Amino acid sequence: MKKVLIIEDDSFIQEMFAEKFAKYDAITLNARTSAKGEKIAKEEMPDMIILDLVLPDGDGLELLKRLKSNAETKHIKVIVITNMDSKEKMEEALSLGVEDYFIKTNESFMSVVKMIKTYLGLKDAK
């Protein structure tokens, strides 16, 4: 069973992912703040983190830096899914080693889901 941690303050989007991944036999963990996200990441060691950059307690990029510089968590795959459309942020995230960077409004939900499935090697369970 794959574990996906969704660090996202929009509960509606969290629910959408949770519902979707349940169909693929994956567990979703939810965090609305970067502090909680970091804690869960260290405790649960998920296979993938879906990270929004604008979080109530700060810049998601800072959390990304911490995760990628920590020996225990640096191997966790991270996909940034955000509406923060800034070239600098995108370049910084990619240089820190994220798998992909999506702008929410510019992607259909299914294309994002497909991409995550590919990275995780998930198959339709039901």
* Site for another protein, rule CB under 8 A: 10, 12-13, 16, 54, 82-87, 103-106, 108-110
C-alpha to C-alpha distance for 116 and 18, rounded to whole angstroms: 13
| Nearest distance, CB of residue 58 and another protein, angstroms | 14
Select 14 or 76, whichever has its Cβ closest to another protein. 14
| Nearest distance, CB of residue 106 and another protein, angstroms | 8
How many Cα atoms are found within 13 Å in the side-chain-facing hemisphere of 44? 21
| Nearest distance, CB of residue 44 and another protein, angstroms | 25
Select 12 or 43, whichever has its Cβ closest to another protein. 12
Beta strand segments in 1-126, E: 2-7, 26-31, 48-51, 54-55, 58-59, 77-82, 100-103
Question: Cα dist. 8→82, 123, 125 in Å?
Answer: 9, 24, 25
Select 57 or 73, whichever has its Cβ closest to another protein. 57
